[in-house]
Structure 1
Amino acid sequence: MLRRTSALLAGVAAAIALVVVPALPAAAATGTITGLAGKCVDVAGANSANGTAVQLYDCNGTGAQQWNVVGNGQIQALGKCLDVASGGTANGSLVQLYDCNGTGAQNWTVSAARDIVNVASNKCLDVTGNNSANGTRLQIWDCAGTANQKWNAPGSGGGGGGSFVVSEAQFNSLFPSRNGFYTYSGLVAALSAYPAFATTGSDTVKKQEAAAFLANVAHETGNLVYVTEIDKSGNYCDASRPYGCPAGAAYYGRGPIQLSWNFNYYAAGQALGLGNTLLNNPYLVEQDSAIAWKTGIWYWMTQTGPGTMTPHNAMVTGAGFGQTIRSINGSLECDGRNPAQVQSRVDNYNRIVGVLGVPAGNNLYC
């Protein structure tokens, strides 16, 4: 695995806006509802009793996480409805399971912006305290556009945990010897963080972007074998940052893009709605597959690194695969600095587009 010696560039702009909610689609749709950290909306204990807590929990495929979004505004699981306790409309009113009764407390809309809004209160389904821990209660809160209010729900184009232009069978064939940490389900769950990833442009462009991402990931991780950097002796702490290095020197490379340095853990955590969680506990990136994948997609979608554009923009604008290399590690590899490493990335890309059945396009080198 290539040792990461260049600093990933930080800096994420967050935009918060009020929500305009279109009507729920008339047709019913069933599947999981995924949100913060790729976790699922879950009925505590799979208990169908009235008043049972609705919470965030690791996705596990059980009936407690199968939701039916129906045309009358109801969202149902275990034969009962998603309900705001006592018909509350104030911020912080908790959400529960209850007999379907047609009241405003059970009338929800799923927006194209991936908000789930209670019509009676005009407030959004929200993860309490922006906390991704298992068992965190769900509530309603003023819609703010933050990550703890974004959901992939059936019928919104992202139900069932999301979808990806690379099938699970293709993923398995591309990485037959991968570390079990890098799960396909974790990757699919991570898609909720940036819905434009591998969904922009023509079908060919979508697959080319997915191939470009996986090609760079394959290079960084030895074909998804390494979860962490091999040599962890470096000090990736920039103590001049105002938030410092609460985890000491432990900001070595982790995950599919080998996220490193305290400022990147800070920026990724802020952008993904995790606050200072990754800054305080960078080990989470090597412990939670969905979060690891999200950090990779965060970099891909938002960071230019030593390049002039994000890797996402490089692929969807036709600038070419070579510009993704420049954005990830161009200061060490491009312009003849390390042609063998560049060739490794290009070889991975050609292999993956071949599996996906699309052309590689132009400008493969940097």
Structure 2
Amino acid sequence: METKWLLLLTMAILSLLVFVQGDEEMSSVKPIVKIVKGKKLCDKGWECKGFSEYCCNQTVSDYFQTYQFENLFSKRNTPVAHAVGFWDYHSFITAAALHQPKGFGTTGGKLMGQKEVAAFLGHVGSKTSCGYGVATGGPLAWGLCYNKEMSPSQTYCDESFKFTYPCTPGVSYHGRGALPLYWNYNYGETGEALKVDLLNHPEYLEDNATLAFQTAIWRWMTPVKKHQPSAHDVFVGKWKPTKNDTVAKRVPGFGTTMNVLYGDQVCGNGDDHESMNNIMSHYLYYLDLMGVGREEAGPNEVLGCGQQKVFNPSSSSSSSSSS
């Protein structure tokens, strides 16, 4: 009898080893490599789509895996969440794959890649959270609770863009997506860039999680205005501050990503601003959960933007948020 149980136990362990090994092989795609003008370029298929030198590096799925996504967004599919079954890891990686050849999560080595993913998702988590002070698991565990604004107070149609991004009759341009888009001009501009008709069909963002992540990563990777940096550039250190930036206390790091994305809705309002601190808290929480540690976030002048002068005051802002 003991021999039989020992045999069954051995078979079970061997099966588990085969499963784990197979799972590792699935999560580690060997890149297709080609040399162009002496440069090594790679493509990793759905994990990093398009030949580039960045795809030869560690890509997002190499250091950010399904279990980590589940840890970061542990409450998103609870019955009281508002977008149950919508957001998933595969959609995030599929969207990221389109931007990794441009450096998303692949710039500056593994640690910088991990920090950038935590930073980007910190914004996403804070903007899609339904967490509150005494929520189960804590207020930071409820990111990706929403995929759209639930009770919009207006249709967010700006008629001053009627010649470039005219509002479609009967359509509302309220917040949708991972970094919620508002206003017809933002739907129009983003749709043009991604070759998707979001101006006529903004609802696509609440129907397709990959597209919802893709629009958010595009915003992260793209300057709001010409001659300004993207959130990606200021985070990974590709942006070099001018003398004016230094005077305005704008420095490379997480704080300036908030300045790029939200302007004076979040930044330049002092260090006690609730929205700013909420976004920062999500970033620090995700750094911890990813095993990087919040100490990698840097000092407060890098982490926050309370003392910064904004790039685009709200009167001229075209950021993705509602103001």
TM-score range, shorter chain: 0.5 to 0.7
Other structure's SS at 2:61 match: coil
Q: Which residue, 69, 73, 83 being the options, matches 1:175?
A: 73
Counterpart code for 1:264: N
Greater helix fraction, Structure 1 or Structure 2? 2
In the TM superposition, residue 192 of structure 1 has moved relative to its aligned partner by: 2.9
Alignment of 1:213-232 (within 5 A): 213-222=120-129, 223-232=143-152
Other structure's SS at 2:168 match: coil
Q: Which residue, 153, 168, 187 being the options, matches 1:233?
A: 153
In the alignment, is residue 268 of structure 1 matched against residue 202 of structure 2?
Answer: no
Check whether the contact 2:176–2:182 (CA below 8 A) recurs between aligned residues: yes
**Counterpart in the other structure of 1:255:** 177
Counterpart CA distance in 1 for 2:218 and 2:32 is: 32
Counterpart CA distance in 1 for 2:220 and 2:71 is: 23
In the alignment, is residue 365 of structure 1 matched against residue 304 of structure 2?
Answer: yes
**Counterpart in the other structure of 1:137:** none
Alignment of 1:101-112 (within 5 A): 112=41
Counterpart CA distance in 2 for 1:235 and 1:214 is: 27
Q: Which residue, 58, 63, 67 being the options, matches 1:165?
A: 63
Counterpart CA distance in 2 for 1:214 and 1:115 is: 22
In the alignment, is residue 193 of structure 1 matched against residue 126 of structure 2?
Answer: no
- Superimposed CA distance per residue, residues 31-69 of structure 1 (whole angstroms, 9 cap, x where no aligned partner): 89xxxxxxxxxxxxxxxxxxxxxxxxxxxxxxxxxxx99
**TM-score, normalised to structure 1's length?**
0.54
In the TM superposition, residue 233 of structure 1 has moved relative to its aligned partner by: 2.2
Counterpart code for 1:348: H
In the TM superposition, residue 112 of structure 1 has moved relative to its aligned partner by: 4.0
- Superimposed CA distance per residue, residues 87-123 of structure 1 (whole angstroms, 9 cap, x where no aligned partner): xxxxxxxxxxxxxxxxxxxxxxxx948699xxxxxxx
Greater strand fraction, Structure 1 or Structure 2? 1
CA separation of 1:264 and 1:114: change in aligned 2, threshold 3 A: farther
CA separation of 1:247 and 1:353: change in aligned 2, threshold 3 A: farther
Counterpart CA distance in 2 for 1:334 and 1:207 is: 24
Check whether the contact 2:60–2:106 (CA below 8 A) recurs between aligned residues: no
**TM-score, normalised to structure 2's length?**
0.61
Other structure's SS at 1:194 match: helix
In the alignment, is residue 320 of structure 1 matched against residue 263 of structure 2?
Answer: no
Counterpart code for 1:357: G
Counterpart CA distance in 2 for 1:332 and 1:216 is: 14
Check whether the contact 2:55–2:106 (CA below 8 A) recurs between aligned residues: no
Other structure's SS at 1:163 match: helix
* Structure 2: gaps (5+ residues): 1-24, 34-39, 77-83, 130-142, 238-250, 306-323
Counterpart code for 1:226: Y
**Counterpart in the other structure of 1:334:** 267
CA separation of 1:70 and 1:228: change in aligned 2, threshold 3 A: closer
Other structure's SS at 1:278 match: coil
In the TM superposition, residue 285 of structure 1 has moved relative to its aligned partner by: 0.3
Counterpart code for 1:201: G
Counterpart code for 2:108: G
Check whether the contact 1:165–1:198 (CA below 8 A) recurs between aligned residues: no
* Structure 1: gaps (5+ residues): 1-29, 33-67, 72-110, 117-149
**Counterpart in the other structure of 2:217:** 297
Check whether the contact 1:152–1:162 (CA below 8 A) recurs between aligned residues: no
Counterpart code for 1:329: Y
- Superimposed CA distance per residue, residues 128-177 of structure 1 (whole angstroms, 9 cap, x where no aligned partner): xxxxxxxxxxxxxxxxxxxxxx9459xx949xx98363211111011111
Counterpart CA distance in 2 for 1:268 and 1:321 is: 23
Other structure's SS at 2:105 match: coil
In the TM superposition, residue 239 of structure 1 has moved relative to its aligned partner by: 2.3
Aligned length: 225
Other structure's SS at 2:151 match: coil
Counterpart CA distance in 1 for 2:75 and 2:172 is: 27
